[in-house]
Amino acid sequence: MQATLAEEWPAFEAIHQQPSFTSIRLNPGKQKAYDLPKIAWTDFGYFLPERPSFTLDPTFHAGTYYVQEASSMFLEQAVKQTVDLTRPLRVLDLCAAPGGKSTHLLSLLNPESLLVSNEVIRSRASILSENIQKWGHANVVVTNNDPKDFQRLNGFFDVMIVDAPCSGEGLFRKDPKAMEEWSEDNVALCAQRQQRILADVWPALKRDGILIYCTCTYNEKENEENVGWLVSEGKGESLKLNLPVRQAGVESDWEIEEIVKNRIFGYRFFPHKVKGEGFFISVLRKKEEAEEVSMRTKTQLPMVSKKIAERVNEWLLHPHHLILLDDLIVALPEQFSTEINWLANNLNVVTKGTAVATLKHEKLIPEHAAALSLELNRNQFPKIELSLDHALAYLRKETPLIGEGQKGFALVTYQTHPLGWVNLLGNRINNLYPANWRVRMGG
């Protein structure tokens, strides 16, 4: 890094003694704007003056924003500048947990698009699923698969994001553990693994499809050399992105370094230049032919009865394709029922669409994902607005003293944002917040 940065090295070294910036990205379906300093390369990102306790903020659990590092929000520029977002697209976020890029993509994509959000590690796939549910979209499938499994989906995707596991050099300021794990051998190992991941998943991208490759590291082995390998093999072409033109004597909000080397364009973020951590991103267009796979399958997802469908669709703002998985009723966007059925037959699916209700002896018990969904028709349910203390008690799965004397399922809200459900039983209350999501912090 000293050799690379030359006279900039002292500033780079000094910034690692400073605390990281805290930034968030708003969910445009739930929160419109904050009066805070904006992140220049995204419509949704803001810097916070200090790091609050997000765990003790009910609006965080309601999915109104996501805590995300500012540099990685540059994904928005990579997508907007290379993809026609007015078209229906099939998009894969390959290494998606904990969900920053997937939730960002859901805010950018046309509602007629379908996102497959994948995580290799099962425990992390559960966290990913939770964050996707909080964001409130139905046009997403969460999967738990190895990259090579996507070879069954030849030519299926228009866009892929590969945020590859890396040596983490850009995280040294934020995560001292990343520094302890670093070695030259680990860099070489990461580079080999990244190349395998790219080779495994590449067949699933359509001809002229877009691959966005990014890491949280600086070295060329894991960045330019991996992108260069795909270009040199004749598989893809590297795309140039537009950055603001620098004016003499004027400091830009962006200060992103463009790398141009052997027909490769890459964009590197240094923490002494931008208000964010270390990051690298590059965009490729596929030039190889890719015959698209046929979506024929013998098995169909079981549908609910017409009578139940009428009742459930009253809970939603738009009609959905409703399927029954054991006792669970799941709403899928009607235009994707074929694709989602086919994906469920070819991948290990964790969640698909939005779980709306559990069916018990003709009785509908609302599911937590439905409370957080942007498709929920809130007018169909009584609402109970909670104070901060009651909201935190609810999130801890305690029993707040609310709705006494009332009966039936009610939507509990905080600052009008739905948090989940309660079942009012006249003289007592059942808190239906998911036990594995409950807040364990006091305050």
pLDDT tens, residue by residue, 179-188: 888 999 999 9
% pLDDT > 90, the chain = 79
Q: State residue 251's pLDDT score.
A: 56
Are residue 269 and residue 317 in the same domain, yes or no?
no
Within a domain: residue 152? yes
> Domain limits at 372?
295-380
Q: Which two tokens mark 156?
A: 């299926």
Q: Does one domain contain both 126 and 87?
A: yes
176 pLDDT band, cuts 50/70/90, is: confident
Looking at the structure, tell me whether residues 253 and 183 fall in a common domain.
yes
Q: Are residues 247 and 385 in the same domain?
A: no
Residues contacting residue 58 through CB under 8 Å, at least 6 positions apart: 386, 388, 391, 392, 395, 414, 415, 417, 419
Any domain includes 70: no
Domain boundary among 380, 405, 428: 380
Q: Are residues 373 and 436 in the same domain?
A: no
Tens-place pLDDT, residues 113-156: 999 999 999 999 999 999 999 999 999 999 999 999 999 999 99
Residue 311 lies in a domain: yes
Which pLDDT does position 247 carry in this prediction?
57
Are residues 367 and 423 located together in one domain of the fold? no
Start-to-end CA distance of the chain, whole Å, equals 43
**Is the predicted pLDDT of residue 252 greater than 80, yes or no?**
no
Distances (CA, A) of 319 to 52, 314, 335, 342: 39, 8, 11, 21
Residues 222 and 98 in one domain: yes
- Digit-coded pLDDT (tens) for 377-435: 999 999 999 999 999 999 999 987 787 778 899 999 999 999 999 999 988 899 999 99
Do 223 and 215 touch, CB atoms closer than 8 A? yes
**Mean pLDDT confidence for 261-290:** 93
The pLDDT-based confidence of 317 (bands split at 50, 70, 90) is very high
pLDDT tens figures, 321-335: 999 999 999 999 988
Q: What percentage of the chain has pLDDT greater than the value 70?
A: 98
Query: Does 42 map to a domain?
Result: no
269 and 194 both lie in a single domain: yes
* 67 is a domain residue: no
User: Given this model, what pLDDT does residue 138 score?
Assistant: 95
- The residues carrying an active-site annotation are 216
pLDDT, position 102:
98
| CA 311 centroid distance within chain | 31
Same domain, 184 and 331: no
Q: Is residue 8 in a domain?
A: no
- DSSP letter at 251 equals -
Instruction: Say if residue 151 is in the same domain as residue 237.
Output: yes
Number of domains present in the structure of the chain: 3
Last residue of a domain, one of 355, 380, 405: 380
Per-residue pLDDT reduced to its tens digit, 204-250: 999 999 999 999 999 999 999 999 998 988 889 999 999 987 655 55
Q: Which two tokens stand for residue 51?
A: 């790091």
Q: What is the CATH number of the domain that holds 419?
A: 3.10.450.720
Give the mean model confidence (pLDDT) for residues 76-92: 97
Structure tokens at 162: 């590969």
Give the pLDDT of residue 337: 86
Examine the domain organization and report whether 268 and 131 are in the same domain: yes
Measured at the alpha carbon of residue 198, what is the angle toward residues 264 and 270, in degrees to the nearest 5? 50
pLDDT at 443: 59
Question: Residue 80: which residues within 8 A CB-CB, separation 6 or more?
Answer: 108
Are 361 and 411 members of one domain? no
Residue 70 has pLDDT above 90, yes or no: yes
The model's pTM is 0.95
| Domain boundary residue, one of 286, 316, 332 | 286
Q: Is residue 52 a part of any domain in this protein?
A: no
CATH number of the domain that 196 lies in? Answer: 3.40.50.150
Query: pLDDT-derived band of residue 294, with 50, 70 and 90 as boundaries?
Result: confident
Q: Is residue 105 part of a domain?
A: yes
